[in-house]
A and B are shown apart, each in its own frame.
Chain A
Amino acid sequence: MKTYLIIMFSAILTDNFVLSKFMGICPFLGVSKKLSSSLGMGAAVIFVMACATMFTYPVYSLILEPMGLTYLRTIIFILIIALFVQLVEMVLKKFMPPLYKSLGVYLPLITTNCAVLGVTLINIDNKYNFMESLANSTFVGVGFTLVLIIFAGVRSKLETADIPETFKGIPSTLIAASIVSLSFMGFAGFTS
């Protein structure tokens, strides 16, 4: 139980993928304009991360490792991730067209979101077993969603703020992102 708690806290807070490891910045900046779309994006990423791990872990430990083909892992993981992103896309298009529209290009871009590939590779590097890998992936996804939601809040305040012309738009967003990232530094050492 203790391992899972540690995995949970480190994945969500101390080693947050977006703010501490700087992975998945593209959707973080792209989709965090509105709370509804950031929730949708977060749910999609959690689903893709969990499902991808469910398949990449057995593929790695049962096929690649015994055969000594571990060098194939990156490309095979990408293949599996792409499969699930496509699935999510189809499901969203069918059942949630408004969310599909608001996510736009960022939905297929989950495929190349390094956070997803990163989590599957880190699971293996950290020598987690299957359940731990699954927990880690899910909580990394939860951490991603949390940051997206926090940042959607920050951005809604930024829209009404009186910002100098030069900093309007992306520059002010990046500065805000760095401040949110700094605040997460406060969790450093929490789990060790």
Chain B
Amino acid sequence: METYVIPILIFSGIGLIAGILLHVASKTFEVKVDEKIEQINEALPQINCGACGYAGCADYANAVAENDVPANLCKPGGNETARKISQILGKDVVEIVPELAVVHCNGDCNATTKKFIFDGIQSCVAAKRFYNGDGVCTYGCLGLGDCVAVCEYGAISIKDSIAYINKSACVSCGKCVKACPNQLISLRPVSKHIDVACSSRDNGKITKLNCKNGCIGCKICEKKCLSDAIKVVDYCAEIDYEKCTVCGACYEACPTGAITNCSIKI
């Protein structure tokens, strides 16, 4: 009996003394935490996605309360969270423009081919390291789903061997943007639904050879654009969403189908 009771007593005795000491110390060295920080932290969705650029919800709450950081950086929380935070801080509400992730590649298995069979680790990063991936186009979607793995909302799937983003499920946290080794994914405002679905920097001839849907850099869209929003850089069109009015002229003019308009094509 003694062999069990005495060690337990000693151990709990030392634990008790340590506990009392710590309690006293926590009272003497107490640091007052700003109440606002806790309130803001509660208003945040607590999914710690990092889309705001901080190391989690608590970190962002700190930054908003102490420094002059905008209250509308929480993308998953959206306008509702921005409004709550602004209320707590007594600031004017700044609405966030809802954004969406889009894949700038349309080279599905019908449009492009493979140059070899990649049999290694099934990840885009690994495939990319192995001779720039298995596709004939080295800029295109590798289709092994690094973005699918990183998406916490199940918004991305692989269809016809390219990534496809479900618009209703995307919260624009931006994790897939960082995950793609070919930098194919970017965020754009939901309302500006015209996308260049190609990232090939090869010249028109090579792109045409490699992929039916590629941007050949013909500059027709540049000429047709009414608001000077589209520019061809390195044989690939780029849209400036600040200027784009979503008139659809470039989409109708594109000879290869590299520009997509998702209000029509779902």
Q: Specify whether A and B are partners.
A: yes
Residues of A within 8 A of B (CB): 59, 63-64, 67, 69, 72, 75-76, 79-80, 82-83, 86-87, 90-91, 93-94
Report whether B10 and A80 are in contact in the complex, using a CB–CB cutoff of 8 Å.
Answer: no
Residues of A within 8 A of B15 (CB): 79
Can you list 12 contacts pairing A with B, beta carbon distance less than 8 Å? A64-B10, A69-B6, A69-B7, A72-B10, A79-B18, A82-B18, A86-B22, A87-B22, A87-B25, A90-B26, A94-B30, A94-B31
Chain A binding surface SS class: helix
Residues of A within 8 A of B22 (CB): 83, 86-87
Residues of A within 8 A of B26 (CB): 90
Residues of A within 8 A of B29 (CB): 90-91, 93-94
Count A-B contacts at CB 8 Å.
39
Report whether B11 and A75 are in contact in the complex, using a CB–CB cutoff of 8 Å.
Answer: yes
Given contacts A69-B7, A94-B31, contact A79 B14 (CB under 8 A): yes
Interface residue from A80, A87, A90, A94 paired with B14 (Cβ < 8 Å): A80
Residues of B within 8 A of A (CB): 6-7, 10-11, 14-15, 18, 21-22, 25-26, 29-31
* 9 closest cross-chain pairs (CB), A and B: A90-B29, A83-B18, A94-B29, A69-B7, A93-B31, A90-B25, A86-B22, A94-B31, A87-B25
**Whole-angstrom distance between the Cβ of B10 and the nearest chain A Cβ:** 6
Least CB separation from B21: chain A residue: A83
**Whole-angstrom distance between the Cβ of B120 and the nearest chain A Cβ:** 18
**Whole-angstrom distance between the Cβ of A57 and the nearest chain B Cβ:** 14
Least CB separation from A67: chain B residue: B6
Residues of A within 8 A of B18 (CB): 79-80, 82-83
